[in-house]
Amino acid sequence: MAVRKLKPTTPGQRHKVIGAFDTITSSTPEKSLLKPIKKSGGRNNTGKMTMRYKGGGHKRRYRVIDFKRNKDGVAATVESVQYDPNRSARIALLAYADGEKRYILAPNGLEVGQTVKSGEGVSPDLGNTLTLKEIPLGTIIHNIELRPGQGGIMARSAGTFAQLAARDGKFAVIKLPSGETRMILTTCRATIGAVGNSDHALERSGKAGRSRWLGRRPRVRGVAMNPVDHPMGGGEGRQSGGHPRSRTGVLAKGFKTRDKKKATSKYIIERRKK
C-alpha cells in the first residue's frame, strides 16, 4: 500500500495525493453481491432538506459486505482484492469451498490465494474470525461485534485496529482506535489483523471538484451567516462570534453530548482521549 503524489501540471494536481491502487487485483465487482444505492440529497420523505451540504456525486452501487462472518467451518479462498467506493478500506472477495462468494474487509497483508475461516476452534491467523474468548491476549483485531451475532461494527475504517488487552470472566477488555478501553462479551466475534489501506489518511483531494464527486457540497461557516441563520452569525465588519456551537445551539469544543444515564456507560473503563 502506498500513495502517489502527482506532478503539478495543473492547480488541481499540485497538492493531490491519491492511493496507488497497487494491492487491487480486480476492477470488476461480483455482480451477485451488488445492490443499488438511492441518493437522498439530504431530503427526507416529504422532500424537506434535513441535512445540508449534500448532493450530486458519482453514481455508486453498494457492495454487500459480510460483517457477521457466520459461515463457520467452511474454508474460503481469497479470489481478489477490490476497491469499494462506499468505504475507505479495500474489500476482499472470498470464494467458499461450497461455491458461495462473499465480500469481507481486506485486512492488512491479506493476499490473493490465502485461505481464511471462521467459527470455533479456528486458528488465530490473519483474516480468520473467532470469538474473543479464543483470541490470544495482545492480538490486533478489527470488525468487532458489540453484541453476539450482531455483526462487526467497530474498527472497520482503513488502517484502524483494536487490541485485546485482557479477559475478566465473561467480558473481554478491548482497547479501541479512539483510545477508549471498554468491556465486551467474550462470545462476540472479531477478525484477526488490522484493516488494510492504512495510507488512506495521507491522501489529499487537491481540488474542490473531488469533494463534489463524493456528494459533498460547499460548507458555509456559521460566522459567515446572518444571526437568523446561525447562533454565531452577524456582527459588523469581520467581527465573528460567540462560543462555538452548532446551528441548533449545541456547544462544541469540549461540551459533552453523551447521555449521562446511558446504560452501556458501565462497560467503558476509560473514555476516549481528547
What is the average pLDDT value for the chain, to the nearest integer? 94
R_g of the chain computed on alpha carbons = 22
- What confidence score (pLDDT) does residue 37 get? 95
- DSSP H or E segment with residue 198: none
Would 216 be classed as within a structural domain?
no
Would 266 be classed as within a structural domain?
no
Give the tens place of pLDDT for each residue, 132-157: 999 999 999 999 999 999 999 999 99
For the cut 80, the answer to whether the pLDDT of residue 273 exceeds it is no
Would 171 be classed as within a structural domain?
yes
Would 208 be classed as within a structural domain?
no
Would 21 be classed as within a structural domain?
yes
For the cut 80, the answer to whether the pLDDT of residue 1 exceeds it is no
Average pLDDT over residues 43-71: 96
For the cut 90, the answer to whether the pLDDT of residue 36 exceeds it is yes
For the cut 80, the answer to whether the pLDDT of residue 272 exceeds it is yes
- The residue segments making up the domain with residue 61 are 3-201
CATH number for the domain including 111? 2.40.50.140
Average pLDDT over residues 119-142: 95
Name the phi and psi angles at 115, rounded to 5: -110, 135
The grid coordinates listed for 235 are 456582527
Would 44 be classed as within a structural domain?
yes
| Dihedral class, residue 23 (left if φ above 0, else alpha if ψ from -120 to 50, else beta) | alpha
Total number of domains constituting the chain = 1
Would 86 be classed as within a structural domain?
yes
Kind of pairing between the strands at 162-168 and 91-96: unpaired
| Dihedral class, residue 47 (left if φ above 0, else alpha if ψ from -120 to 50, else beta) | left
Would 226 be classed as within a structural domain?
no
Give the tens place of pLDDT for each residue, 197-216: 999 999 999 999 999 999 99
Q: In three state form, how does the secondary structure of 28-53 look?
A: CCCHHHEEECCCCCCECCCCCECCCC
The grid coordinates listed for 207 are 481540488
Q: Which pTM was predicted?
A: 0.91
Cα–Cα dist 149/168, whole Å? 21
DSSP assignment string, 10-24 = SHHHHT-EEE--TT-
Task: Give the CB-side neighbour count of residue 191, counting CA atoms within 13 A.
Answer: 30
